[in-house]
Amino acid sequence: MKKNKINKEIKIGFVLISSYLLWAVAWIVYSHFIKGEITSPYFPESDMTKELLRPGVNGFMLGTDIYGRSIIEILSAGLAYSLGISFMVSFTTATIGIIVGYLSVTGNQTIKILSDLVINLIFIFPSILIAIMVMSVTGQSFWGLVFALVITGWPGYAKIARGETLRVMNISYVESARAVGVTELRLFTRVVIPAILPLMMVHIVLGVSGVIISEAALGFLGLGGSEYSWGGMLAIAKSVLLEAPYIVIILSVVMAGLIIGLNLLGDGLRDYLDPRKSFSS
Amino acid sequence: MESSVRKFLYSLFTMFLAVSAIFIILRATPGDPVEKILGPEAKEEEIVKYREQLGLNESLGDQYKNYLVGIVSGEMGKSLFKKKDVTVLIKKHMKPTIVLAFVSISFATILGTVFGIYAGFKKSGLFDNTSRIISLVALSFPIFSLAPILVYIFAIKFNVLPVSEWGSFAQGILPVLTLVIPLSAVIMRVARNKLLEESGAPWVQVLRSKGMSDLSILRRLSKVCMPTILNVVAIQLSVVLAGTMITETIFDIPGMGLLLFEGIQNRDYPVVQGVIIYSTVIYMGVYFIVDFVNEKIDPRISA
């Protein structure tokens, strides 16, 4: 196999994502072991006497929000929450997508038609609206949010997985494996998955940034699953834009950094896997 | 002609499926809307009354039938909060959303196409490199964080533009800008990459070796890129729709987004359902129109 060069996008994206992951881990350690207990982790609490302190005042590095919570603490809690939910949702949606995509290629006629229809339909749906509708029925709950994001997220993966499965099915070693009578399950887990996984990883990385944005959008509309949703914090910060514009700016920049990192990593990986399609260098 | 009719029937069928899918998702979602509307301290008789009002006490088949009839006849129930027909409310709020989305899409398509094609034409030049970094950054600020930043810069810091309300030209600038920035960044990236992909094609080399000027070649190249760009616009429509609704809540524009947002806050279930169904139907209609136009200008798609 030809060796491709690790490009600039992957390097910058990797460094950015690693720093955010380290930050999240540091926060989890801090909130679960240092300041709190494993059974009752520490969460930033409101203290109205300290509302809207400027960065640097009273030892608050980034100041406080309108409830008097330290901004660096709510940012950290939001990061851990945001990463947790987006990894969980992306992993679930990708798994469903790969299985449905595979079945839509190898299954019988009924399965094929049915999965094609469902995938195409939900794919052109305005997914955030569906998520809003689901959240308005379940109310603001963590699992409602996961359900809403999963149900709108998997068709994108299924569409890609179907295309990829079709492609690898025609590669000679896959044909050989089928010819010697490898069982369906073994073919799927040992032959097809390893072949389509690299490209799926690219879409999972880009998908994580999509979930982070969708989750924040729902949080912004008041349909988040936690009070530590970055979107919810932005909605609150927006109301004090006149008095404390720095809150919106800090939140936006931190969020944008994470999204830039994921997008760079995803784009870079795609170019790395398929340099012919790369026009970015 | 015959294929157009078939396509029209197919899109109607897809809309029917989409509307049915909304019904299925709503009923499959765990949780009871009536309990959510009334809260945990609701009395039993109140719950029964609301169920009746929302038509939730009937069998699933009847509910589905009423639901479909309601959409076609425009009878989507009454708002629980404003005591008005949902359809009336939606009609009142439709115009700002359509205007905002249409203006933003037009501007973004023009800007994105021109900048993208220019960037691709002068590949690795100063403009190309700068615009690529700018578009990457622009795409990383979601609308709900971009809008407050723009408000801060233009309305608070420099005080040159009004922030909220809707009606005058100046009041429209910031909302449109909020929507145009990310959308034109997407279109620009696509236009640039498509131009680079096509400029390596044999026919371009032939024209070049025959001595055709760069400008004439660029004109022909741009024409080839148009279907791809329009296709991206079609795919981005749902993003624009959601973005428009979020933008409305930020700038207090009395459109469908604000109606939806108020519906969510007041737990006004019929309004939320109505807005989502109507916007899905409108969105799909526009999607099919763009798809149809695309096919007319690019015969390769229909082949």
The closest of B137, B154, B146 to B104, measured between CA atoms, is: B146
- H/E/C letters for each residue in chain B? CHHHHHHHHHHHHHHHHHHHHHHHHHHHCCCCHHHHHHCCCCCHHHHHHHHHHHCCCCCHHHHHHHHHHHHHHCCCCECCCCCCEHHHHHHHHHHHHHHHHHHHHHHHHHHHHHHHHHHHHCCCCHHHHHHHHHHHHHHHCCHHHHHHHHHHHHHHHCCCCCCCCCCCHHHHHHHHHHHHHHHHHHHHHHHHHHHHHHHCCHHHHHHHHCCCCHHHHHHHHHHHHHHHHHHHHHHHHHHHHHHHHHHHHHHCCCCHHHHHHHHHHCCCHHHHHHHHHHHHHHHHHHHHHHHHHHHHHCHHHHC
CA dihedral angle for residue A191, residue A197, residue A199, residue A203, rounded to 10 degrees:
150
Cβ–Cβ gap B29/A255 under 8 Å? no
Residue in A with minimal Cα distance to B268: A136
How much is the ipTM here?
0.81
Please give the pLDDT value at position B110.
95
Residue with tokens 């389509």: A196
The residue-averaged pLDDT of B206-231 equals: 87
Question: Nearest chain B Cα to A143, which residue?
Answer: B30
B138 in the same domain as B43: no
User: Is residue B102 located within the same domain as residue B129?
Assistant: yes
Out of A219-233, A250-264, B134-148, least confident range? A219-233
Query: Do B196 and B241 sit in the same domain of this protein?
Result: yes
User: Given CB atoms, is B285 within the 8 Å cutoff of chain A?
Assistant: no
Identify the pLDDT of residue A21: 94
Give the pLDDT confidence of B235-271 residue by residue, as tens digits.
Answer: 788 788 888 988 998 888 899 988 988 887 777 778 8
Examine the domain organization and report whether B121 and B210 are in the same domain. yes
B234 within a domain of the structure (yes/no)? yes
Whether B82 maps to a domain, the answer reads no
Q: Are residues B177 and B246 in the same domain?
A: yes
Q: Flag whether B291 is in a domain.
A: yes
Is B3 among the domain residues?
no
How many domains does chain B contain in total?
2
Of B33, B156, B260, nearest to A137 by CB-CB distance is B33
Average pLDDT over residues A132-158: 83
Q: CB–CB of A222 and B276 under 8 A?
A: no
Check CB contact of B195 with chain A, cutoff 8 Å: no
A260 closest CB neighbour out of B17, B136, B192: B136
| Residue in chain A nearest B125 by alpha carbon | A281
- Residue range B185-207: average pLDDT? 88
Interface probe, candidates B11, B140, B238, B256, chain A, greatest A C-beta count within 10 A: B140
Helix axis angle for A142-169 and A193-220, nearest 10°, is 150
**Are the Cβ atoms of B142 and A217 closer than 8 angstroms?**
yes
Chain B's closest residue to A267, CA to CA, is B136
Q: Which of B25, B242, B280 sits opposite A134 (nearest CB)?
A: B25
The answer to the question of residue B205 being in a domain is yes
Mean pLDDT of B163-191: 86
Q: What is the pLDDT of residue B30?
A: 67
Mean pLDDT of chain B: 83
Tell me: pLDDT of B180 over 90: yes
B78 bridge partner residues: B85
Higher pLDDT, B107 or A153: B107
The pLDDT of residue B57: 72
Instruction: Output the pLDDT for position B262.
Output: 86
pLDDT at B197: 85
Domains detected in chain A: 2-38+69-274 (1.10.3720.10)
Q: Quick check: B152 contacting A, CB < 8 Å?
A: yes
- Residue B33 is part of which domain span? 23-75
Q: Tell which wins on pLDDT, B129 or B15.
A: B129
- The answer to whether residue B83 is domain-embedded is no
Domain CATH code at residue B203: 1.10.3720.10
Domain shared by B161 and B129, yes or no: yes
Of the given ranges (A76-85, A132-141, B178-187), which has the lowest mean pLDDT?
A132-141
pLDDT digits (tens, 9 = 90+) for A105-137: 888 888 888 887 777 777 667 777 778 877 877
pLDDT class for A279, splitting at 50, 70, 90?
very low
The 10s digit of each residue's pLDDT in A158-193 is 988 988 888 888 888 877 887 888 888 888 888 888
**Cβ A225 vs Cβ A138: under 8 Å:** no
Q: How confident is the model at residue A281, as a pLDDT? A: 34
Mean pLDDT over B108-137 rounds to 90
CB contacts, 8 Å: B33 with chain A: 136-137
Q: Are residues B39 and B111 in the same domain?
A: no
Work out the pLDDT band at B303, boundaries 50, 70, 90: very low
- The reply to whether B217 and B185 lie within a common domain is yes
Ranking A56-65, A236-245, B8-17, B170-179 by mean pLDDT, the lowest is A56-65
Q: What is the pLDDT of residue B302?
A: 47
Closest CB from A245, A249, A263 relative to B136: A263
How many Å lie between the alpha carbon of B123 and the closest alpha carbon of chain A? 10
Do B30 and B149 belong together in one domain? no
Mutate to test the interface with B, among A115, A122, A136 (most CBs of B within 10 A): A136
Region B96-100: what's the mean pLDDT? Answer: 90
Tokens 């990457």 locate to B136
For residue B5, is it within any domain? no
CA B149 to chain A, closest CA, distance in angstroms equals 7
For residues B151 and A249, what is the distance between their CA atoms, to the nearest angstrom?
12
| Assigned token pair, B105 | 């899409």
Q: Does B80 reside within a domain?
A: no
Pair B277, B161 in one domain: yes
* Chain A residues within 8 A of B276 when measuring between CB atoms: 129-130, 132-133
pTM, entire model: 0.85
Nearest to A121 among B18, B137, B149 (CB): B18
Rounded mean pLDDT of A194-203? 88
B50 and B136 inside one domain? no
Residue B222 and residue B178 in one domain = yes
Angle at B235 between CA B233 and CA B239, to 5 degrees: 90
Considering just the CA atoms, what is the radius of gyration of chain B in Å? 24
